[in-house]
Structure 1
Amino acid sequence: MYEVIGHPSSRAFRVLWMLEEMGEAYTLIPAKPHSPEALDCNPSGKVPALRVDGQVITDSTAIVTYLADKHGQLTYPAGTIERAQQDAVTHQIIDELDAVLWTATRHKIIHPENRRVPAVIDSLKWEYERNIGHIADRFVGPFVMGDKMTIADIILTNCLNWAFAAKFPAAPEKLTAYAKAMRSRDAYKRATGKS
């Protein structure tokens, strides 16, 4: 049994969705960042964390990669060209979408007010729009890697949802349709019900 530490409205949702897609049992501890439960797992207080047999894994991408590899689902095998391509697009999503969205969020609500630079958000929106266009250019569908759903889909869909909620520029139509299809998955709906 896995134990997920993190609030479903955070990147913990990626872990919940992953576990629902795989049909693995888990317990959710709906901890917010910097809560005692979060600090118990991660000295930085960040969520999510996954407790497995008394050990803790932090970072949503590390967690979903671990789960995919352990269960042989939603991934290509390590050491294959397909896995290298999957890792490349996953890192592109993390570097070019997630990082931009997280920087904007920090300057909007996370940093102390005297450390926020709201003017940077317009530049980040421009960067996001350019980057989402690059991802759309390589997107064939129905999933990021073509015919097989992988962890890249979980992370990309989460970023598209985050961008929409943050009022970032709309993604190209094919990615908007893709995100809608991903949100219609039964496992996604089950994970959403946890919040």
Structure 2
Amino acid sequence: MYKLIGTRDTRAFRVMWMLEELAQPFESVHAAPRSNGVVEFNPSGKVPVLIDDGTPITDSTAIIQYLADRHGKLTHKAGTLERARQDSLTQFLLDEYDAVLWTAARHTFVLPAELRVSGIKDTLRWEFQRSQEILKQRAGDGPFLMGNMMTVPDIILTHCLEWGQAAHFPIKECWLGKYWDIMRERPAYKRAEAR
């Protein structure tokens, strides 16, 4: 059985959701970032950490892609053009959504107060909106980002949209709001959310 270390309000949610989508049992260990229970497995203190057969795996995207590959679901096969497109979309989301939101979080509550730059958030909101326009051009015909098949990028994007709403980064693209609503109605998402 997998062991997942982290909290629901962090990127650990991505892993919880992936495990629910895969119908894989797991033990959930509630541990805050940089706590002793985390640092022993990840020196940076970041969550999530997935323990598989005694081996810790860190970083949410690496974990969910590992799980998708291992169980042969929610991913295209490595070495295919579909997988190259999927990986490209994953990187786009990490660069243009996740990184923007993480920078906003750092300048809101992570960095020491004297190092925070509050004015940066206006720039980040602009980037978040611009990324929505670009994503519209990159997304498939739906209902998922890659078309008819849900993949790793869908988990990343849905989590980033949730994070963005909590940070008051609005969803400006109508299609994206509808997509987000559909993704949050998935039974596995609701099970992960209820944990």
Aligned-partner SS, 2:56: strand
Partner of 1:167: 168
Q: Distance in 2 between matches of 1:96 and 1:64?
A: 19
Partner of 1:158: 159
Partner of 1:142: 143
Partner of 1:107: 107
- TM-superposition CA deviations, 1:117-168 (whole Å, max 9, x none): 1111111111111011111232221001000000110000000111111101
Q: Distance in 2 between matches of 1:18 and 1:171?
A: 27
Which amino acid in structure 2 is aligned with residue 79 of structure 1? Answer: G
**Can you give the 5+ residue segments of structure 1 that lack an aligned partner in the other structure?**
none
For this pair of structures, how many residues does the alignment match?
Answer: 194
Partner of 1:58: 58
1:3–1:51 Cα contact (<8 Å) kept? yes
Displacement of 1:170 in angstroms is 1.8
The root-mean-square deviation of aligned C-alpha atoms, in Å, is 0.7
1:3–1:52 Cα contact (<8 Å) kept? yes
Displacement of 1:71 in angstroms is 0.5
Partner of 2:188: 187
Quick one: percent identity of the two aligned structures?
52
Q: How does 1:115-126 map to 2 (within 5 A)?
A: 115-126=115-126
Aligned-partner SS, 2:97: helix
Partner of 1:31: 31
